[in-house]
Amino acid sequence: MPTSDPFRLAELAASEVLAALGGPAPSVAVVLGSGWLPAAEVLGAPSAEVSTSELSGFPVPTVAGHRGSIRALDVAGRRVLVLVGRVHLYEGYTEADVVHGVRTAVLAGCATVILTNAAGGLNPAWPPGTAVAVSDHLNLTNRSPLSGPPPPEPYDARFVDLSEVYSARLRAVAHDVDPALRDGVYAALRGPHYETPAEVAMLRALGADLVGMSTALEAIAARHLHAEVLGISLVTNLAAGVSPTPLDHTEVLAAGAAAAPGLGQLLRGVIEGM
């Protein structure tokens, strides 16, 4: 039966994902941010792939670099779901739309969620191509995926504890794989425009190291479902007021392609080391 409840819709989509991809139950989900698709290729060839247009509740991505499919592949004996692309609030989608992919993956069996993104760097010492493990976030979107009607039974109440959104254990694994990996605080804004120099100065004063337009709502939704979350940002450009040149989305995709081999090995190493 059709439903408007986002949790029931994710349950339905999870059953469709499992039926479409087959194989053993997945345990890890990787959400690809802008420019991260070349890195995903390093993980290995998918054993199965389904377009999200064939699954319940998935909106259509409208941003270059976000394809709209889910792949299944095996890494070190673990079944991994790779969500090739995401949607954003700035595309006109709701909070429930934005986190639908993550909810679906967790309800399909993924107890670990790796959220990747392209981010503007606020630290001039971190050039484009720098990978950063997200230690915490500032949700400045003024939105929450848990707003609206309360979650239905048997889900927890919407007042989820966010004392440790991003797993210290998984960050330690990531640092074992890449000792040069930085830690940083990610500021999530609604977008789609880039920030002004004054806004970047404000974010730096608030303690942010990175700025982007995704990730925070997905992390909240995943933690509400008790998934362990790792966030990895790729600095694809220096933010306004830090960068000496104007900002452009094409440089985001180019930076992802250039960093792909190292990022793919990082993802693989983390999954192998869990």
Q: Which residues are catalytic?
A: 195
Using alpha carbons, list the distances in angstroms from residue 45 to 65, 74, 103, 155, 218: 19, 9, 24, 35, 26
Residues 121-140: b if buried by 16+ CB within 10 A, e if exposed: bbbeebebebbbbbbbbbbb
Contact 227, 156 (CB under 8 A): no
Q: Give the Cα separation of 85 and 175 in Å (integer).
A: 25
Q: Which residue has the tokens 């990082």?
A: 266
> CB atoms < 10 A from the CB of 159, how many?
9
Using alpha carbons, list the distances in angstroms from residue 147 to 58, 123, 142, 151, 217: 19, 33, 11, 9, 11
DSSP 243: B
The candidate with the shortest Cα–Cα distance to 129, out of 47, 27, 237, is: 237
